[in-house]
Chain A
Amino acid sequence: MMSPAELLNARLQQRRALRSRSIKPWYRNGALMAGIVIVGALVLIAVLAPLLAPYDPIAQDLRNTLASPSAEHWLGTDKFGRDILSRLIWGAQVDLRVGFLAVLIPFVFGSVLGAIAGYFGGWLDTILMRIVDVFFAFPFYVMVIVLVFIFGSGEASIYLAIAAVSWVSYAKIVRGEVLVAKKQDYVTAARLGGMSHGRILVKHIGPNVLSQAIIYGMSDIVMDIMAIVTLGYLGLGIAPPTAEWGSMINDGQEFITTQWQQATIPGLMVVVASLGLSFLGDGLSDLLSPERRK
């Protein structure tokens, strides 16, 4: 039996929990709005790059190399006399495109495999989870770098390398969610109603488990952007002279003593992009699974 004080306490806690769980309209969700504004602005910059960039990002001007910021070149020029601001703007296009596209294959592939493993269980599940364990042993950057080397240079091999490494996370997340979901009453009801396993997975379980994968996807885009930028920095990413934030940081490192902005600003862009995506992920997780909020 609970004492009256405990009872009161429990009721208070319940009330508090209910209040915090009350559904806010999406536009009142601060993190989500901040995310939408930041990511929206960056996407806009990327899409409008041809209009916004004052110069051609790969046009060299060898008479005006390593210029300091001025009225003509707001952020100065690099060692080939290319306008840094223009490269920064065009870089948004490359880095965001690759970041967003790179999550698609692992998202679909990993989620499908994870759902099948979690739903049917048995030896299929065992084998898949062992494979996932093996893949988890390889550090993300190491595997991406080696795979990009193996698949050869170019954007396609970056997608492939990232997909080969990051599908495991989706498989693990979705499998866990399906394990919980398949024990719910609505699944039993659908099964008793004569629905096939495939239909149950797609129509009933899918929508309920995907939200976690989508939320993870937001942080995965950040990881992928980091990977592209890192590859670019190491000289293994998008081939020069295409403007890309990582290779811009590499170009700038050489001149860190005289031109600090060259290496600093592309990195700040990465920070802004990941901040926006983190907000978006937090906001989405409030929106999609309010019951898990702390």
Chain B
Amino acid sequence: MIDRLKFIPARLVQSLPVALGVTLIVFLMAHLLPGNAALALLGERATDASVAALTEQLGLNRPIWEQYFIFLTRLLQGDLGQSLTYQLPVTDLVFQAIPVTMSVLGYALTLALLISIPLAALAAFRPGGARDLGVRTYTLLGQGMPQFWVGIMLILLLGVNLRIFPVGGYGTTMVDHLYFLFLPSLTLAIAMCPTIIRSLRSSMIDVLGSDYVGTAKSKGAYGVALLRDHVLRNAAIPTVSVIGVNLGYLVGGSLVIEQVFALPGLGSLMINAIFARDFPTIQGVTLFVALFVVVVGILTDVVYTMLDPRVDFASKDQT
């Protein structure tokens, strides 16, 4: 096992150019603002002095390569600049918001697996049957629903009509969090499920048709035990990479969902920053989210290797 994880350092080195590219794009965003960025941020009624001060603060009066170098150096020191609205370091704001967003993401992933695995199995045991048709209809509809709208519908159904769950806020204790974050996480889970179910269903159909499952069946394995002991692990392998690839899209969705449920996470931080024209904060959140996606890519490869002994990133020089 440890042997096979030797690819990690090489994989990290490989991700460096991508991470560097991400910082370059986030850096260049400031220069895409039309005209003088400082003026564009402060609005038309800004005084000359305040424009000059912001120009200085953003470092806009230096040559562009020098600005990027300064940006990188500060970044390595964990300095993303000062928020223009809160007058606090952007890093602090981002780190305050991360636990909320990550809890929703992890919670949602758990819920999504709890929903997807039984549904995919239900569909895969008899492809083309009534249950399969039902599950596939759900995956088709699920992909067509705007995520924030699903959130509002859940609020309507479970929060307002049945009054089971709170419709906003975050709570203070761990139990509170689980309770308060249920609806937002379920919303995100509903968005995740169609992709997971599709992948899991088709790989389960493949695995169920394989010889070793036939052998297991002939030895008397059936139902849940067959699924748990023989099918799931092999069927899960392709799904892991599907989840990894789609996680970026899902992070984006979770930021919008936060806005629906008024959660103090990265999404609310970014949207509020956009309305306040607080550019350093926008940059900070964007950068963090993109780097997170790069890291998830690496983690996906690790999980993949652990699940499937045949995958060996270390020996072959492949991506």
Of the listed stretches A52-60, A73-81, A83-91, A136-144, chain B binds: A136-144
Interface assignment of B128: CB less than 8 Å from any CB of chain A: no
State whether A230 touches B146 (Cβ < 8 A).
yes
Residues of A within 8 A of B88 (CB): none
A window 149-197: CB within 8 A of B: 149-152
Hey, which chain A residues are within 8 Å of B274, CB to CB? 145-146, 149, 236
Flag the segment in B60-68, B214-222, B287-295 that touches A: B287-295
Rounded to whole Å, the gap between the CB of A173 and the closest CB of chain B is 14
Chain B residues lying within 8 Å of A249, measured Cβ to Cβ, are: 146, 148-149, 152
- Which of B18-26, B75-83, B171-179, B180-188 participates in binding chain A? B18-26
Partner-binding segment picked from B118-126, B233-241, B247-255, B308-316: B247-255
How far, in angstroms, from A256 to B153 measured CA to CA in the complex?
Answer: 9
**Known A134-B18, A256-B155, A264-B153; contact A142-B289, beta-carbon cutoff 8 A:** yes
Interface size on B, residues (CB 8 A): 47
Asked whether, in the complex, the Cβ of B256 is within 8 Å of the Cβ of A275, the reply is: no
Q: Is residue A206 within 8 Å, beta carbon to beta carbon, of the partner chain?
A: no
Which residues of B lie under 8 Å from residue A152 when comparing CB positions?
Answer: 34
Q: Is A271 a contact partner of B259 (Cβ separation < 8 A)? A: no
| A147–chain B nearest beta-carbon distance, Å | 8
Q: How far is the CA of A45 from the CA of B202 in the complex (A)?
A: 37
Cβ of A233: which chain B residues have Cβ within 8 Å of it? 146, 148-149, 256
B293 touching A137 by the CB < 8 A rule?
A: yes
CB–CB A278/B29 < 8 A: no
- The dominant DSSP class at the A interface is helix
Q: Are A134 and B25 in contact (CB under 8 A)?
A: yes
Residues of B within 8 A of A133 (CB): 18, 21
Please determine whether A137 and B286 come into contact, CB atoms closer than 8 angstroms.
no
Residue among B146, B153, B286 making CB contact with A142, cutoff 8 Å: B286
Q: Could you say which residues of chain A place their CB within 8 Å of the CB of B293? A: 136-139
**Given A134-B25, A137-B18; A278-B286 close (CB under 8 Å):** no
Contact with B along A229-261 (1 / 0, CB 8 A): 110011110000000001001000100110010
Q: Which residues of A contact B (CB under 8 A)?
A: 130-131, 133-143, 145-147, 149-152, 222, 226, 229-230, 233-236, 246, 249, 253, 256-257, 260, 263-264, 267, 270-275, 278, 294
A–B Cβ pairs within 8 angstroms, 13 of them? A136-B248, A137-B248, A137-B293, A147-B32, A230-B146, A234-B256, A249-B148, A253-B260, A256-B152, A263-B149, A267-B152, A271-B144, A274-B144
Interface, chain B (partner A; CB < 8 A)? 17-18, 21-22, 24-25, 29, 32-34, 140-141, 143-149, 152-153, 155-156, 160, 202, 248-253, 255-256, 259-260, 270-271, 274-275, 282, 285-286, 289-291, 293-294
Please give me the 3 A-B residue pairs with the lowest Cβ-Cβ distance, nearest first: A274-B144, A139-B252, A134-B21
